[in-house]
Amino acid sequence: MLPTSVTGERLADPSGADTIERRPATHGALDGEPPITVVPLHGDGFFGRPGLEGHRRGGRVWAPRFSYDSHESTASSLTTVAVDAIAQLRLTTTISIDHVMHVSATVTNIGSTRYLLDRLDLTVPLPATADELLTFSGRWSREFQQARMPWIVGAWSAENRRGKTSHDQPSLLFAGRSGFGEWTGEVRGFHLAWSGNHRLWAEHLADGRRFVQLGELLHPGEVCLEAGESYSTPELVATFSPAGLTEASWGFHRSLRARSTSPVGPRKVLINTWEAVYFDHDLDRLQALADVAAATGVERFVLDDGWFGSRRDDTKGLGDWWVSSEAHPLGLEPLISHVRGLGMDFGIWVEPEMVNPDSDLYRAHPDWMLATPGYEHVIGRHQVVLNLAVPEAFEYILGRLDALLTDHEIAFVKWDQNRDQAQASGADGAAGAHAQALAVYRLFDAVRARHPGVEIESCASGGGRIDHEILRRTERVWTSDCNDPLERQSIQRGASMLIPPEVMGAHIGPPQAHTTGRTNSLDLRALTALPGHLGIEWNVLETSEQERLQLARYIEIYKQFRTLLHSGDTVRFDPIGHGHAYGVYAADRREALIWWVQLATDDSLLPPPIVLPGLDAGSNYRITRLAPFGDNPRTGGKSVPTWWRDGSTMLGGHLATIGLQPPVTSPESAVLVHLRTV
- What amino acid positions are annotated as catalytic residues? 416, 481
How far apart are the C-alpha atoms of 544 and 278, rounded to whole Å? Answer: 21
Give exposure, 598-623, as e/b (b: 16+ Cβ within 10 Å).
Answer: bbeebeeeebeebbbbbbbeebebeb
Q: How far is it, in rounded angstroms, from Cα 208 to Cα 222?
A: 35
CA distance 344 to 338: 9
Q: What is the 3-state secondary structure (H, E, C) of 332-384?
A: CHHHHHHHHHCCCEEEEEECCCEECCECHHHHHCHHHECCCCCCCCCCECCEE
Residues 6+ apart with CB under 8 A from 661: 607, 609, 610, 641
Whether residue 452 is preceded by a cis peptide bond, meaning omega within 30 degrees of 0, is no
C-alpha 48, offset from chain centre: 29
Q: Which residues share a beta bridge with 240?
A: 188
Short-list 405, 393, 383, CA closest to 313: 383
Rg (CA), the chain: 27
561-581: b (≥16 Cβ within 10 Å) or e: bbebbbebbbbbbeeeeebbb
Measured between alpha carbons, how far is 126 from 190 in angstroms, rounded to an integer? Answer: 12
Q: Which residues contact 118 (CB under 8 A, 6 or more apart)?
A: 53, 54, 55, 218
Q: What is the DSSP string of 507-554?
A: EE--SB-TTT--B--HHHHHHHHSSSEEEE-S-GGG--HHHHHHHHHH
317 Rama class: left (phi>0) / alpha (psi -120 to 50) / beta: left
* Phi, psi torsion values for 407, nearest 5 degrees: -85, -10
Buried b (16+ CB within 10 A) or exposed e, 336-365: bebbeebebbbbbbbbbbbbbbebbbbeeb
Q: Which residues share a beta bridge with 147?
A: 135
Is 647 in a helix, a strand, or coil?
Answer: coil
Identify which of 502, 514, 569 has the alpha carbon closest to the alpha carbon of residue 539.
Answer: 514
Question: Which of 149, 128, 102, 122 lies closest to 251, judged by CA?
Answer: 102
Question: DSSP letters of 12-24?
Answer: S-GGGGGGSPPPP
What is the rounded CA–CA span in Å between residue 289 and residue 283?
10
CA torsion through residues 175, 180, 181, 184, sign? negative
Of 358, 434, 421, the closest CA to residue 385 belongs to 421
At how many degrees (to 10) do helices 522-529 and 545-565 cross?
20
Contact between residue 205 and residue 47 where contact means Cβ atoms under 8 Å apart: yes
Q: Do 427 and 368 contact (CB within 8 A), yes or no? A: no
Neighbouring C-beta atoms of residue 115, cutoff 10 Å:
25
The number of beta carbons lying within 10 Å of the beta carbon of residue 173 is: 22
